[in-house]
Amino acid sequence: MHIFIYGGFMLLLLMHALDKYITVALWKDYYSTINPFMFLRDLFGALVIVGVLIAIYRRFILKVPRLFSNAMDIYTIIIVAIIMLSGIFLEATKMVAYSDYKRMVNEYSGLSDPGELKSLEAYWVKEFGVVSPNLKEPFDEALLQKGKELHQSSCESCHARPQWAFAGYGTAKIIAPIGLGIDRARLPRVLWFIHILACFAGLAYLPFSKMFHIFASSISLLANGVIGKGKLAPANRATLQAMELDACTHCGTCSLRCSVIMAFEEIANRNIFPSEKIASIKALASGKELGAQELKHIQEGVYLCSNCYRCTVVCPAGINLQDLWFSVRETLLQKGYPEFLVLSPLSFYRGLMKEETGPKDYEKPLIQAREAIAAQCDLMKRKDKVLPLTSTERKLQSGLNLSAQAKTFSVCFGCQTCTTVCPVVGNYENPQEALGLLPHQIMHAAGLGIRDLAFGSNMLWDCLTCYQCQEQCPQGVHVTDVLYELKNLAVKRMREKTLQPVERK
């Protein structure tokens, strides 16, 4: 698709739009109406149209999963399509236009004899698709023969047979029945304006659209090609990243190959997809005022990444997306909105990169997430923790049903084997102080439906998921799975409280 549009368009630009400067300089006998130029122009135009059709098919008919189309993609397709279609219609209407024919006869043929004019006109009506108000097919052989001779002497050197301009000629044949009307309405003139204006509109839109990638992608590819693996100075890195944002064509390759795509099925946040993340980051980088909700969504999107580098590897514009995510992630995390994803192993990568962030900046989001959760757990804040007998929350128990394994908490008989074998518990001299409830107590809390104590305990977030507890439980309680599901419920609750869905423009 890309090669059709790019190849066709560039050749048209060089050979057709800039023909006076380039084509004429290369070929002295250039005329736009003789071969091979006439044929090639139509061929290139047809290539672009095929490319545009493929693009439309992919985006709107085939609906490739996870390929998103935003306004910019649609505008771009429309502009290219208008340029191409107006060009072909312009060519077609010029072919049928009688006034154009007349003008050329007056200017170039030097014929004045009515008989001669008639025979030439007949020949052009038959062979060149001109729609004449005076003459209609069929013509007799002699008249055509005469016309042919006149044509050979005065026109042929500049006019190849129109069939070579297959796209325009085909269209001309289709519109021939209304050919006279077209000419009277001076449609060729109108189309010429549309064609030229569309070209200028495209040119004006260029710096603000994905088409700017023509320049930015090549520069970014070049820059990333010469930059070694070593560290970049922060200022250079920022410059490079700003350039890379422009280099993105929103082609969607990254989103097709993204590792965490399935998250979108459950978490309705388009920023999970690299191609959409980058669109949001563009908005962010352009200094647009984004609301807290929007920022939180972008933050969640950039954090929900397994850091597999695949987007960076497959990006045809050579953008170092991984690096970009890292910078944006760290910047957003410092804005102070708690991000609960930091409490998942997705943070492993952040831990490996901790030398890139200062120690304070590094700890901040981790503390913030835990504090935000604890703040929602009123019971944890109470010193005496005397519980009313009626505080059981049935919702917690019924909520532990994701895998049907977590329900096993109900058979816990409190033997404390899980707590005894837990390496995390074993790491502390005073585990309750550091961890809050211990594993067997969390099972008990789940049984009683005391959500706050379960969610607010550090034990939940400090669980290694090493499955020692579950393996050794004499009652077959799936301790680790229960802890997993409690974490899910806690995050879900926090997400519902802090994150409202944002309508995407």
Partner 1 sequence: MMEFALFLGCTIPARLNQYESSSRAVLEKLGVRLIDIREFNCCGYPLRNIDFKVFLLSSARNLALAEKKNLNVMALCKCCYGSLKKADYLLKENASLKEEVNTTLEKEGLKYEGRIEVKHLLPVLHKDIGLEAIKGKMATTFKGVKIATHYGCHALRPSQVVGFDDPVAPSLFDQLVEATGAESMEWAMKLECCGAPLWGINDRLSMDLTLKKLNDGKKSGADYVCAACPYCHIQFDKVQKMILSQRNVNHPLPSILYTQLLGLTMGIDRKVLGLEMNEIPIGGIEEKLKTEAELAAERELAQQKETKEETESNKA
Q: How far apart are the first and last CA of the chain?
A: 27
In terms of CB distance, is 337 or 461 closer to partner 1?
A: 461
Burial class of residue 463 (count of CB atoms within 10 Å of its CB; 0-12, 13-18, 19+) = buried
462 binds partner 1 (CB under 8 A): yes
Taking the complex as a whole, how short is the minimal distance between the CB of residue 411 and partner 1, in angstroms? 15
Identify which range of 37-45, 93-101, 168-176, 421-429 contacts partner 1 by CB under 8 A. Answer: 421-429
Q: Is 266 in the site for partner 1 (CB under 8 A)?
A: yes
- Using CB under 8 A as the binding criterion, the count of chain residues that bind partner 1 stands at 57
306 binds partner 1 (CB under 8 A): yes
Tell me the closest approach of the beta carbon of residue 422 to partner 1, in angstroms.
10
Q: Of the candidates 16, 59, 148, 257, which one interacts with partner 1 according to CB under 8 A? A: 257
Q: Is 420 helix (H, G, I), strand (E, B) or coil?
A: helix
Name the DSSP letter for residue 209.
S
> Should residue 372 be labelled a site residue for partner 1 when binding is judged by CB under 8 A?
no
Task: Let me know: does 302 contact 325? Beta carbons within 8 Å.
Answer: yes
Binding to partner 1 (CB under 8 A) within 143-202 occurs at none
- Does position 411 interact with partner 1 (CB under 8 A)? The reply is no
Cα torsion 232, 233, 238, 244 to 10°: value is -20
Q: Does the footprint of partner 1 cover residue 492 (CB under 8 A)?
A: yes
Choice from 172, 211, 424, 453 touching partner 1 (CB under 8 A): 424
The helix/strand/coil state of 398 is: helix
| Positions in 275-304 near partner 1 (CB under 8 A) | 304
Measured from the CB of residue 354, what is the shortest distance to partner 1 in angstroms? 8
Decide: residue 476, CB within 10 A, 0-12 exposed, 13-18 middle, 19+ buried: exposed
- Interacting residue with partner 1 among 27, 193, 309, 413 (CB under 8 A): 309
- Residue 240 in contact with residue 220, Cβ under 8 Å? yes
Alpha-carbon dihedral angle through residues 408, 409, 411, 414, given to the nearest 10 degrees? 150
Binding test (CB under 8 A) with partner 1, winner from 80, 120, 247, 343:
343
The pair of structure tokens assigned to 161 is: 């047979």
CB 284 within 8 A of CB 298: yes
Per-residue DSSP letters for 278-306?
HHHHHHHHTT----HHHHHHHHHHHHS--
CB of 27 to partner 1, least distance (A): 46
Q: Cα(211)–Cα(202) distance, rounded to whole angstroms? A: 9
- φ, ψ (nearest 5 deg) of residue 112: -135, -20
Residue 204 binds to partner 1 (criterion: CB under 8 A): no
What angle (nearest 5°) sits at the alpha carbon of residue 365, between those of residues 364 and 367?
70
By the rule CB under 8 A, 260 interacts with partner 1: yes
Residue of 356, 371, 378, 471 that binds partner 1 (CB under 8 A): 471
Give the angle 483-484-485 at the CA atoms, nearest 5°: 90
| Binds partner 1 by CB under 8 A, chosen from 106, 134, 465, 500 | 465
Q: How far apart are CA 304 and CA 272, in angstroms?
A: 6
Is the bond preceding 138 in cis, omega lying within 30 degrees of 0? Answer: yes
Contact call for residue 466 and partner 1 (CB under 8 A): yes
> Looking at 397, 478, 499, 502, which residue binds partner 1 (CB under 8 A)?
478
Q: Is residue 332 near partner 1 by the rule CB under 8 A? A: no
Report the distance separating Cα 82 and Cα 202, nearest Å.
10
Would you say 5 or 254 has its CB closer to partner 1?
254
Does 259 interact with partner 1 (rule: CB under 8 A)?
yes
Q: What angle do CA 217, 21, 1 make, to 5 degrees?
A: 35
Tell whether residue 222 is a contact of partner 1 (CB under 8 A). no
Nearer Cβ to partner 1, position 248 or 489?
489
Regarding 351 and contact with partner 1 (CB under 8 A), the answer is: yes
Q: Which member of 307, 357, 441, 457 binds partner 1 (CB under 8 A)?
A: 307
* Cα angle 172, 10, 208; round to 5: 105
According to the binding rule CB under 8 A, does residue 358 interact with partner 1?
no
- Of 259 and 391, which has the nearer Cβ to partner 1? 259
Region near partner 1 per CB under 8 A, out of 107-115, 146-154, 239-247, 398-406: 398-406
Reference 245, options 273, 208, 204; nearest CA is 208
> Are 466 and 454 in contact, with CB atoms under 8 Å apart?
no
Residue selected from 50, 199, 221, 366 as contacting partner 1 according to rule CB under 8 A: 366
Residues that bind partner 1 (CB under 8 A): 65, 257-263, 265-267, 304, 306-310, 340-352, 354-355, 366, 402-405, 423-424, 427, 461-462, 464-468, 470-471, 478, 480, 484-485, 487-488, 491-492
